[in-house]
C-alpha cells in the first residue's frame, strides 16, 4: 500500500512514548484522516494503557463526519483483535451520527451475540439508523431476531423485542439532516 509522508509521520507519532505528543497527534488527525491513519488509531486504542489517550481516540472517533469512516469503523468492530474495545467502538457509531444502515445485519448480530452493554450500544446504533433498507434484508433480520428470542434471557429479551419494532420503522431520512 502506498503511504504518503504525512500519514507515515502521523503513524510514527502515534507510537511515541510521550503521552502529550500522542495527544497532540490525535488532535492533528481531526484535520486529515484516511484508512491508514484510522487503522493506526484503532491499534493505538487497543495497545495503550493511558486512559487519557484512549479517551482522546474515542472522542475523535465519536466525532467523525466523513462517510468513508463508516466502513472502517465497522471493520474494526467486527475484527476480533479489537474485542476489548468493541463496546466503545460501537458507541462511537451512534455518537458520530453517520449512517450505518448498510450494516444493519452486523449490528443485529452484535445485539444477539454480544454481552449486554455492547448489545445495548448496537441497539442504539440501530435505533438511530435511517435510509432505505431492502425489504428482503429487513425480513431476514426480523427472522434472525425472532429465532434469537427463543433462547434469549433477561435484558436481551427486552432488546430483541425492541428490535422487532425498530427494524420495521427505520425512517428514510435522518431527523437531524443538515
Of the chain, the percentage scoring pLDDT greater than 70 comes to: 93
Which cell is 133 given? Answer: 433498507
* Burial state string for 71-110 with b = 16 or more CB within 10 A and e = fewer than 16: ebbbebbeeeebeebbbbbbbbbbbbebebbebbebbbbb
pLDDT in tens, 39-77: 999 999 999 999 999 999 999 999 988 888 899 999 999
pTM over 0.75: yes
Amino acid at each position: 500500500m502506498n503511504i504518503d509522508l504525512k500519514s507515515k509521520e502521523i503513524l510514527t507519532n502515534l507510537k511515541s512514548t510521550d503521552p502529550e505528543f500522542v495527544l497532540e497527534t490525535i488532535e492533528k488527525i481531526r484535520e486529515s484522516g484516511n484508512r491508514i491513519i484510522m487503522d493506526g488509531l484503532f491499534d493505538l486504542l487497543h495497545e495503550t494503557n493511558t486512559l487519557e489517550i484512549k479517551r482522546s481516540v474515542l472522542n475523535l472517533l465519536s466525532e467523525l463526519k466523513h462517510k468513508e469512516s463508516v466502513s472502517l469503523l465497522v471493520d474494526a468492530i467486527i475484527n476480533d483483535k479489537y474485542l476489548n474495545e468493541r463496546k466503545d467502538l460501537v458507541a462511537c457509531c451512534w455518537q458520530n451520527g453517520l449512517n450505518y444502515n448498510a450494516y444493519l445485519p452486523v449490528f443485529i448480530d452484535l445485539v444477539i451475540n454480544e454481552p449486554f452493554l455492547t448489545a445495548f450500544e448496537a441497539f442504539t446504533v440501530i435505533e438511530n439508523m435511517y435510509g432505505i433498507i431492502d425489504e428482503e434484508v429487513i425480513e431476514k433480520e426480523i427472522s434472525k431476531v425472532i429465532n434469537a428470542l427463543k433462547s434469549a434471557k433477561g435484558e436481551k429479551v427486552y432488546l430483541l423485542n425492541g428490535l422487532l419494532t425498530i427494524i420495521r420503522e427505520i425512517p428514510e431520512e435522518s431527523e437531524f439532516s443538515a
